[in-house]
Amino acid sequence: GYWPLGREIDPRPLMLALAGRGHALALPVTGRRGTPLAFRRFRFGDALEHGPLGTRHPRAEAGALAPDWLLVPLVAFDDAGMRIGHGAGYYDATLAALRARGPVVAVGCGYAAQRAASLPRAAHDQPLDAIATERGVFGA
């Protein structure tokens, strides 16, 4: 999952439901710009530290997790599963690294109004597998 920034859609209700069904949760830890995110185990009620760019993440003692499903924040998305984020490249680098190791599912989380007809695509951009909005799930 992720801890929402600004006006991002809040995935915490979904994360709470997943935790209630026994799924392990993790939040990203932001490193140097353009590098893959690290993930630490997260349980509701855990203390969070402030990270760069306004992020929040679990403390180091929470332990690392390697996710096979990701909830990915976005600024815009299109029907091809492409997204625009905040422009630092963290999720593209993360998805590339995780997918090089094995299967991973990336679900973009946003509002239906953030849907665009098409978005520019660079060679390093990683597509999403689906996009979840308040109006339903769009398959990519």
β-sheet bridge partners, residue 42:
25
For the chain, the farthest-separated pair of C-alpha atoms sits apart, in whole angstroms, at: 43
Please answer whether residues 48 and 61 qualify as being in contact, where contact means their C-beta atoms are separated by less than 8 angstroms.
no
pLDDT of residue 54: 86
Query: Encoding tokens for residue 31?
Result: 């490193």
* Residue 69 clears pLDDT 70, i.e. is over it: yes
**Short-list 72, 91, 84, 69, CA closest to 115:** 84
Domain extent listing, the chain: 12-139
The pTM assigned to this predicted structure is 0.93
User: Which CATH number applies to 12-139?
Assistant: 3.40.50.10420
Instruction: Give the pLDDT mean for 80-99.
Output: 92
| pLDDT tens digits along 4-56 | 999 999 999 999 999 999 999 999 999 888 789 999 999 999 999 999 888 99
Task: Report the SS3 class of residue 77.
Answer: strand
- Report the C-alpha gap between 52 and 139 in whole angstroms: 32
